[in-house]
Amino acid sequence: MPSAPTNTLLDPKNDYVFFRVFSEEPDLLVDLINVVRRDEPPITEIELLNPHLSPERLSGKHLILDLRAIDEYEQHYNIEMQVRRFAAWNARGILYLARLLSEQLDTGKDYRRLKPVIGIHLLDFTLFDAEEQSKQALWCFEMRDRDHP
């Protein structure tokens, strides 16, 4: 069986390559998070977690995230590389973040113990159709009041 040429570059948009690069070099993941969240205090370390999120009920949706991590401030991250366009990508992204929230608490636990969840979704397609919106490379959506968290 012929082997692949040694000078062939692997596509970092491939799920497996994306996972391997950032799981084997966590400092690169820290750098990526800090660049994307440039207005936030920088993080210095990250711990990768199991990317499989089991459903809470038998008929629920099993999710597999590209990368799932937690930083030293206990902020939870979902980092996704998405090449194929999904019509409901916005809803899918929110589901991923909601599941990261729900995984933090057991029954009867205080909701004030919830830590922030952050989704960094690198998309190889235009998310919004409007010409003006399609020119913007970085979007930041928050589900909190920035002035009064």
Q: At what angle do helices 15-24 and 26-36 cross, to 10 degrees?
A: 100
Residues 106/85, Cβ–Cβ less than 8 Å:
no
pLDDT interval class at 2 (50, 70, 90): low
Q: What are the extents of the domains in the chain?
A: 15-131
pLDDT digits (tens, 9 = 90+) for 55-105: 777 667 777 888 999 999 999 999 998 888 878 888 888 988 998 998 898
pLDDT at residue 139 is higher than 90: no
Question: If you average pLDDT over every residue of the chain, what do you get?
Answer: 85
Hey, what's the torsion of the CAs at 115, 32, 53, 71, to 10 degrees? -40
pLDDT digits (tens, 9 = 90+) for 22-60: 999 999 999 999 999 988 899 999 999 888 877 777 667
Residues 51/64, Cβ–Cβ less than 8 Å:
yes
Cα(128)–Cα(78) distance, integer angstroms: 21
pLDDT digits (tens, 9 = 90+) for 107-135: 888 999 999 999 999 888 887 777 777 77
Confidence (pTM): 0.79
